[in-house]
Amino acid sequence: MELEFDYVIIGAGSAGCVLANRLSADGKNRVLVLEAGGSDRRFWIQTPIGYGKTFYDAAVNWKYLTEPEPGINNRRSYWPRGKVVGGSSSINAMVYIRGQQQDYDDWRDLGNPGWGWQDVLPYFKKSETYAGGGDDFRGCDGPLYVNNPSAEYHPLCRQFFEAAQQQGFGVNPDFNGADQEGVGYYQITTRDGRRMSAARAYLYPALKRNNCELITHAQVTRIRFSGRVATGVEFVHKGRTRQVEARREVIVSAGAINSPQILQLSGIGDPELLKDFGIEPVTGLPGVGRNLQDHLDYCIYYKSLVPTLNNRLYPWWGKLFAGAQYLLFRNGPLSLSVNQCGGFLRSHPSRPRPNIQMYFAAITYTTAPPGQRPLMRPDPYPGFLNSIGQTRPTSRGHLQIDSADPFAPVTINPNYLSTDEDLAQMLEGAKLLRALAKTPALAQIIDEEMRPGPGVQTDDELIEDIRNRADTVFHPSCTCMMGPDPKTAVVDTNCRVYGVERLRVVDTSVFPTLISGNTNGPTIMVAEKASDLILDGRERQSFQ
């Protein structure tokens, strides 16, 4: 075999970077990371606002499209995914959210002991250094810097907080502290004005060790087996097919789209599907690619009577000023996310816990269709937006290979808004946006509602508008679900793939259910915990 390592990690994304670091830390293992994309040393990746530029950039992005979706009136949803060192953590919007404590207790109660809130909290803390300091909930010496630049955020955020209070909601100083509920500022993964991707936090420090290596532009085409034991992987690098042996384990961390794809291409999945494409099954696991969950977001746009970020970022001299400010001082709007504040709220008082995530942004923009130009162009008038998304959708989709060709994209059917429950919660959320706009704090600064506008009033009209305009906020997950039953689940509580040996999946795809919030922080937590599980297993193996 031309290459031999102890652990071979597929994908240098949020999870893969954590694993590379933790598995190589004690110097006892040789670790190889294979990444399909290239270097992240690019200005628009390192610059926080560059998110808008990488959104459609095929040089760093897989640029997936779903099938036409009946729930969103047969529109296709565009799904960016990082194809670059750092994975999606290199192109994401940097909002840091852990989710609700109950989300993890739900994971445990679904038959996953060891994954309840008290079990995962130590790993959230271990992963981070929080700008606000450590306490019972927050970490102070982990690799991932979590910033709280609220002093730099737009003053309109405070107007939003006032409106929320007038509507009866509380202000929460830390969504990632004791309780998530309320409105507040978003914390972001940046440091010194630069993006804090998982690569910056975890991978680059690991690559300084002589037992950790990264090969970029290396697309894994299949996992190799001897019987049911994973022995290594095959990958294409610079046009050449190469093989690497994994002496201990292969770990698939290719993300919620590509991890199930790699499993299916390697003979792990629904045997009927595999047969259709002439792939010899290694083990039958019908859950691969099923159980797909994602967050859908619905947005209302307002023309404002007071200045917003549009006033700073639309005119050329404003852009020039913001650029100079960033280059000279590493601060200003280019050093931040556009998602500066929001909330986790109950769309109706009868809801037992927050079921809606809100994003309030002091900017409005026209979004370009995929591939035409950078994502956002601020509008020429002052404006702001407010949006809602259901935190724990009940709709379940699926994705699957459409060919045995590892370079062909998978077919994605998210099945958005396919339950009455999801539609009901989105409708309640849309009405909540309207109610907030009527509070004195917001009413006094709204010139007019631009989209959807006054023509949309009744429940039916709102539902139609939700189906016409709601779209992903890029959190696909659960496609290699962790669970107790191999008839539906793909991995056990140790992230080991059922039915085979020496193979794990560790990334967003193993979430049993989607958590209430953004998925990067929780994915990093999963990889932190999985690293310990893998290293514990190694100790046991060496005693056998």
Ligand X SMILES: Cc1cc2nc3c(=O)[nH]c(=O)nc-3n(C[C@H](O)[C@H](O)[C@H](O)COP(=O)(O)OP(=O)(O)OC[C@H]3O[C@@H](n4cnc5c(N)ncnc54)[C@H](O)[C@@H]3O)c2cc1C
Q: Which stretch binds ligand X (CB under 6 A): 23-31, 238-246, 247-255, 453-461?
A: 247-255
Query: Among residues 129, 258, 291, 340, which is the contact residue for ligand X, using CB under 6 A?
Result: 258
DSSP 540: H
Query: Among residues 36, 203, 401, 433, which is the contact residue for ligand X, using CB under 6 A?
Result: 36
For residue 508, the minimal CB distance to ligand X (Å) is 3
CB neighbour list of residue 451: distance below 8 Å, 6 or more residues apart: 299, 300, 301, 469
Q: Which is nearer to ligand X, 62 or 442 (CB)?
A: 62
Query: Among residues 7, 8, 9, 13, which is the contact residue for ligand X, using CB under 6 A?
Result: 13
- Please name which of 263, 217, 295, 304 lies closest in space to residue 36, comparing C-alpha atoms: 217
Which of the following is catalytic: 154, 295, 398, 475? 475
Query: Among residues 8, 9, 49, 95, which is the contact residue for ligand X, using CB under 6 A?
Result: 95
For residue 386, the minimal CB distance to ligand X (Å) is 17
Distance, CA of 509 to CA of 2 (rounded, Å): 30
What x/- string results for residues 199 through 228 when contact with ligand X is judged by CB under 6 A? --------------------xx--------
Distance, CA of 178 to CA of 137 (rounded, Å): 7
* Beta-strand runs (E) in 285-375: 296-304, 341-345, 356-361, 365-367
Distance, CA of 452 to CA of 475 (rounded, Å): 25
Instruction: Note if 237 is an active site residue.
Output: no
Does residue 12 interact with ligand X by CB under 6 A?
Answer: yes
Does residue 231 interact with ligand X by CB under 6 A?
Answer: no
For residue 234, the minimal CB distance to ligand X (Å) is 10
DSSP 507: S
Q: Which is nearer to ligand X, 303 or 392 (CB)?
A: 392
The phi-psi region of residue 417 (left if phi > 0; otherwise alpha if psi is between -120 and 50; otherwise beta) is left
Tokens 């075999």 -> residue: 1
Query: Among residues 29, 357, 508, 516, which is the contact residue for ligand X, using CB under 6 A?
Result: 508
Q: Which stretch binds ligand X (CB under 6 A): 85-93, 107-115, 347-355, 445-453?
A: 85-93
Max distance between CA atoms of the chain, in angstroms, equals 72
Query: Among residues 518, 530, 531, 534, which is the contact residue for ligand X, using CB under 6 A?
Result: 518
Query: Among residues 143, 184, 414, 521, which is the contact residue for ligand X, using CB under 6 A?
Result: 521
Q: Which stretch binds ligand X (CB under 6 A): 35-43, 167-175, 387-395, 528-536?
A: 35-43
Map the footprint of ligand X across residues 447-476, applying CB under 6 A.
Answer: 474-475
**What one-letter code names the amino acid at 279?**
I
For residue 424, the minimal CB distance to ligand X (Å) is 26
CA of residue 81 relative to chain centroid, distance: 9
For residue 4, the minimal CB distance to ligand X (Å) is 18
For residue 476, the minimal CB distance to ligand X (Å) is 8
Does residue 507 interact with ligand X by CB under 6 A?
Answer: yes
Residue 206 sits at the vertex; the CA angle it makes with 200 and 209, to the nearest 5 degrees, is 140
- Residue showing the smallest CB distance to ligand X in the complex: 13
Distance, CA of 139 to CA of 142 (rounded, Å): 7
DSSP 148: -
Q: Residue 151: exposed, middle, or buried by beta-carbon count in 10 A (0-12, 13-18, 19+)?
A: exposed
For residue 374, the minimal CB distance to ligand X (Å) is 13
User: Which pair of tokens denotes residue 480?
Assistant: 């290699």
- CA distances (Å), origin 150, targets 89, 145, 260, 291: 21, 15, 38, 36
The phi-psi region of residue 262 (left if phi > 0; otherwise alpha if psi is between -120 and 50; otherwise beta) is alpha
Does residue 92 interact with ligand X by CB under 6 A?
Answer: yes
3-state helix, strand, coil in the chain (%, to 5): 30, 25, 40
Q: Which stretch binds ligand X (CB under 6 A): 22-30, 68-76, 81-89, 455-463?
A: 81-89
What x/- string results for residues 291 through 330 when contact with ligand X is judged by CB under 6 A? ----------------------------------------
Catalytic site residues?
A: 475
What residue ranges bind ligand X (CB under 6 A)?
A: 10-16, 34-37, 80-83, 87-89, 91-95, 219-220, 253-256, 258, 262, 474-475, 507-508, 518-521, 523
